Amino acid sequence: MKSYLFILFLLAVPFAASAQLISNPNPPVPAALAVGGAYTAAANGAEAIYWNPAGLAYGKGTDTRFAYQKPWNVGFLTHLSASASTMLPSRKHGFAVGVQTLGTRDGGTTMASETEVSLAHGFMLQQDIHSSLAFGYAVKLINYSLGESVVNGTNPAMDLGSAMTFGLDVGATAQLWDRFKLGAAFKNINRPQMGADSKRNLPQVFMGGLSYTPYYGVRTTFDLERVISGETQFKGGLNATVVKPLDLRFGVTSNPNCFTAGFGLHYRELVLDYAFVYHPVLSPSHLVGIGFNLDQTLPEIWQAKK
């Protein structure tokens, strides 16, 4: 049954799409945004593809995530994402695929849509009993499409066109003992541009973070994020396991000053995540995510079917 669920997910990924590329909204990871977005060092598995691809090397087996949000509760925006990751049997390499889309719609009319399809790989460079070091990268196909022009008298609607480009993200994660993790990631390091006559640079973002686990069930995180030629944000968060199935999460960010909260529920293989992001001016954002975690890698799942 587990293998069939994963196969259905892989078939659904290309169709789950409506993206983080041009307009750069919050990445669609409720577990990350609930702790203020301080997730660069803590990201792993299917969530790492949107934050730090090096985190794929710290995955457990096979996992998937679906997420939905309406950024700042704006009625005409819809942000969807789907991602899946798996480890190789050696547990030193992790691979992931992800799709996210951001659609601007009025009724049944799509005025603009952004779509990003990502493939990522994370692997261990060094690992011993006390420490580890991992590196990762993600290759992204980014598409931006406008809708049709308004019908004017007898003139039919005209397709306003689309554009496409490629982006490259890189990241690294280091772990010391079981308590400390350091992470860094650089999004769009290849400086992708979009457009023909008037080119637009896609946002380049550098992120660095620290994760500290003082004792079992409690994780504190701190991040610094800077948009190149833009602003710097400081982020901090706390993830606490109250009882084994329930995680409570809190966080803050600067510039603008936002407060975040959320929870995660784990029932066997199923995972349900929720995040609330308060903005001092805009309406709050609500993010909902669902997925599942399996201890087996995808090759092990296929082998078990034989």
> For position 8, which CATH number holds?
2.40.160.40
Tens of pLDDT, residue by residue over 220-246, are 999 999 988 888 999 999 999 988 899
Tally of domains within the chain? 1
- Average pLDDT score over residue span 106-121: 85
Instruction: Give the residue with greater pLDDT, 156 vs 212.
Output: 212
* 178 against 5, higher pLDDT: 178
Using only C-alpha atoms, the chain has a radius of gyration, in whole angstroms, of: 19
pLDDT band at 134; cut points 50, 70, 90:
very high
**Tokens found for residue 88:** 């190789």
Q: Give the CA-trace dihedral at 34, 124, 13, 64, to 10 degrees.
A: -50
Interatomic CA distance for residues 41 and 210, integer angstroms: 6
In which domain, by residue range, is 243 found? 2-150+158-305
269-303 pLDDT, tens digit per residue, is 999 999 999 988 889 999 999 999 999 888 888 87
DSSP 235-297: EEEEEEEEETTEEEEEEEETTTTEEEEEEEEEETTEEEEEEEEE-SSSPPEEEEEEEEEESS-
Two tokens at 291? 């997925």
Stretch 84-99: mean pLDDT: 92
pLDDT one-digit tens code per residue, 32-45: 999 999 999 999 99
Q: What is the mean pLDDT of residues 119-131?
A: 93
